[in-house]
Structure 1
Amino acid sequence: MNILADTSDTGKSTASQEAGPVLAIPTARFEQASLPVGTKVIHELKGSGLDVKYDPAQINALDARLLSNIYVDFTEGEQVDGLRELGRKAFGDTASSSLYAAVLDSIDHSGDAPAVIARVVELFGHVRGEAPAPCSRYGWCVETGAHVEHTGDSVEPLFLEEDRRELLAAGLTHWSKGVRVGFLEQDLTPADARIKLAEVRAHLDAVEQLIDYAEGAQ
């Protein structure tokens, strides 16, 4: 086991000086752990891989990788290696380095690099103003990106004053109980909504009949 504590100004760790030639390690796995004060990173060779434990209270995820690369070359996978290299290029830029450190920290914490990177790409897509992906399940759903609750546009009776429209407004949702039709201030199944709509139509027919009576009385 090799332990890296504080490095000198030359960028060489004690472990690197003792290890001799730089090793070529095919794979590496980073794990967060609580380590003794002064011990930031621990390396352990296991088969053809390198297990790296680092203490997030003493060193961030990006610096742990940069420090590890002082004494050994390794690969974590194309995506994470790419982040590490971007972090290396951003070294000295506090904002950029903090960003890459936060992403790598999330990867180490979750163990799911593709999911974390996909989420970051989605978030930056919003920042750049790119149109997020529409709902892949319902054509009427107005939600975009990753979502589990579905909401559609509402249809409002514009002929009424704004403060009186809610009763006759209608819309579609799919939350925890399947697709529902919001109508008459109720969440109705499609079948129940049709029944209520038929009742409203019957009422309107009755209203129309009253109008006919009124016109005949003139």
Structure 2
Amino acid sequence: LQVNNNGVISFDTRVSQYTPEPFPLADGRPFVTPFWADVDNVRGGDIFYRQSTQRDLLETITRDINRYFPNLPYVASWAFVATWEHVAYYGSMSQKGNTFQAALTTNTNMSFIILNYGDIQWTTGTASDGDPETGLGGTPAHAGFNSGDDTNFYNIPGSQTDAIINITKTSNVKVPGRWVFQVDDFKVTGVPTQPPKMADADCWL
């Protein structure tokens, strides 16, 4: 796995591209992106990642996946969590920062991706034609999952539009700021038609 500073976790090679494209990608690159954008963590913020078999973390993930996919009995045996904490955008002339997270988990038979959004204050770096003072405009960030084929992919609503700034309020599992995908047998559960109403204080991993 490659954790790229531009908000992408890739499975083969690093992804240096900072201006996002919609899925499916023409070149077939498989990756997960909680927030594909022109992140500049030299200017501000930190990126952390960890591979874990820690009991407490796996129990939390197991509980959540079974709640979202009640017909798929699941016990997590492994997790990989990457967190972008208050990261700035390229060309920033502000103090804005975004905090988001991606978690990959498996029990060797089933695999899931969990995307969490804590605080999103900007959508675009200046190299993607964003405004240096606001971090808005231009080609905004993209979020979702691309398997590398033309069938198994998902573009989270609002991607590459100004509406992506509100991703902390959207969800497909009734937890604002959280999106979950089953990726071994690709499924997107509960895609919303309106913002969810149920809050959950324990969505961060």
TM-score normalised according to structure 1 size:
0.24
Structure with greater proportional helix content:
1
Structure with greater proportional strand content:
2
TM-score normalised according to structure 2 size:
0.25
Larger relative contact order (Cα-Cα within 8 Å, sequence gap ≥ 6): 2
